[in-house]
Structure 1
Amino acid sequence: MQFLTVVKSCGKLINAMSFFTITPFSYHITAKVTPEPAVCMFSPIIRPYKVEDRLRLRCRKCFFERRDGRLFVECEKHARHRQAEKLHEPITPWKFRRAIWKQVKWW
Structure 2
Amino acid sequence: MAAPIAASCTGLLRAALPRALSARFFGALGFSRQPTLLTTNVTPLVQQVAGFKVRQLPKRRCHYCYFVRVNGRLHVECSKHGRHKQREPFNAKLLW
TM-score with structure 1 length normalisation?
A: 0.47
SS at structure 2 position matched to 1:90: helix
Higher helix proportion, which one?
Answer: 2
Partner of 1:18: 6
Shift of 1:45: 1.9
Separation (CA, whole Å) in 1 of partners of 2:79 and 2:88: 19
- Gaps of at least 5 residues in structure 1 are 1-14, 20-39, 92-107
Number of equivalent positions: 57
TM-score with structure 2 length normalisation?
A: 0.52
SS at structure 2 position matched to 1:41: coil
Give the fraction of aligned pairs with identical amino acids, expressed as a percent: 33
SS at structure 2 position matched to 1:17: helix
Give structure 1 regions of 4+ aligned residues with deviation exceeding 6 angstroms. none
SS at structure 2 position matched to 1:42: coil
Higher strand proportion, which one?
Answer: 1
| Structure 1 vs Structure 2 CA RMSD | 2.4
Q: CA offsets, 1:23-70, max 9 Å, x none?
A: xxxxxxxxxxxxxxxxx8110222211111111100000000001111
Partner of 1:45: 48
Larger Rg: 1
Shift of 1:89: 2.5
- Gaps of at least 5 residues in structure 2 are 8-42
